[in-house]
Amino acid sequence: MNKLQGPLWITVVLLLTSSVALLVRAGDLGADDDDDPGPSGPDGLRAGATLYQDLPAPVIPREIRAMPRPKRSYPEQPPVIPHSIRDYQIDINFNTCMTCHSRTQSPRTGSIAASVTHYYNRAGQPLGAVSPRRYFCLQCHVSQHEIDRAVESTFRDMEQLIIEEASQRRGRN
Ligand code: HEC
Ligand code: HEC
């Protein structure tokens, strides 16, 4: 065992120095490539950029202040928000949405009360106040903005699918 210690030390020292040398070399390479911006990200809602670019953030589109009550595209869709929500606070102490949408406040404010599903916890137990998992309304409900579609949508309402299927069936009989 003792005899091996000498060569072992030399190997360790050699390995260490060579890895340090490699690291220094990698640093050099990085410095040489400063002019190369690297691959650019794909264009999405905002233009794609390289890691070195700092493109300006897109302008926040204008919020639609009021619109007719939205049509839901399928059962269980969280309805979109038909009014402005600017400066509405939702934090640990206060939930502005619930000042109008709670069961007790909705008649006074003319809003639709958040449905009973918002009061069940995940064990299926009904609670007196809105459930923590439905507390952050904007997780599911989105406000509407004056903005062009990012991509064209071919979505068809399921009612339309049912009507189409029924008329096809009638055609076959
Ligand atoms: C000042 C009272 C008020 C506040 C605060 C408020 N709302 Fe509303 N909300 C309304 C009223 C009134 C309507 C009904 C509008 C209508 O009938 O056209 C409505 C409609 C909605 C709807 C559509 C419901 C449906 O079935 O079509 C959603 C979703 C909604 N609000 C979510 C929110 C969220 C989320 C917040 C908080 C970020 C919020 N609201 C804050 C008054 C309020
Ligand atoms: C985890 C998703 C989720 C969160 C969070 C959530 N909702 Fe909803 N909400 C839904 C869904 C899904 C529906 C439609 C089906 C239903 O009633 O459960 C709905 C329906 C509603 C409706 C229409 C009720 C009706 O009877 O037509 C209102 C109003 C509403 N939500 C308000 C709120 C408010 C206010 C908050 C925040 C305190 C909130 N929601 C948080 C998913 C969510």
pTM: 0.78
Tens of pLDDT along 137-165? 999 999 999 888 888 989 888 888 999 99
The pLDDT of residue 51 is 83
The CA-atom distances, in angstroms, between 156 and each of 58, 78, 161 are 30, 17, 7
CB 53 within 8 A of CB 37: yes
**Structure token digits, residue 109:** 């404010």
Residues with CB under 6 A from ligand 1: 69-70, 79, 81-83, 85, 88, 96-97, 99-101, 109-112, 137, 141
Spatial neighbors of 121 by CB under 8 A, at least 6 apart, are 127, 131, 132, 133
- What are the start-end ranges of the H helices in the chain? 2-32, 96-101, 106-109, 158-172
- Matching residue, tokens 């700092």: 54
User: 121: Cβ below 6 Å to ligand 2?
Assistant: no
Residue closest via CA to ligand 1's atom 36 equals 97
Q: Please report, for residues 36, 70, 78, 144, the alpha-carbon distance to residue 141 in angstroms, rounded to integers and kept in the order given.
A: 43, 12, 6, 10
Mutate to test the pocket of ligand 1, among 81, 98, 142 (most ligand atoms within 8 A of CB): 81
Could you tell me the pLDDT band of residue 112, with boundaries at 50, 70 and 90? Answer: very high
Ligand nearest to the CA of 119: 2
Distances (CA, A) of 138 to 85, 126, 141: 10, 22, 5
- Ligand 2 atom closest to Cα of residue 95: 38
The alpha carbon of 111 and the centre of ligand 1 are apart by a number of angstroms equal to 6
What pLDDT score was predicted for residue 1?
45
Q: What percent of the chain has pLDDT over 70?
A: 79
CA atoms within a 13 Å half-sphere pointing along the CA-CB vector of 109:
15
Distance CA 48, CA 44 (A): 7
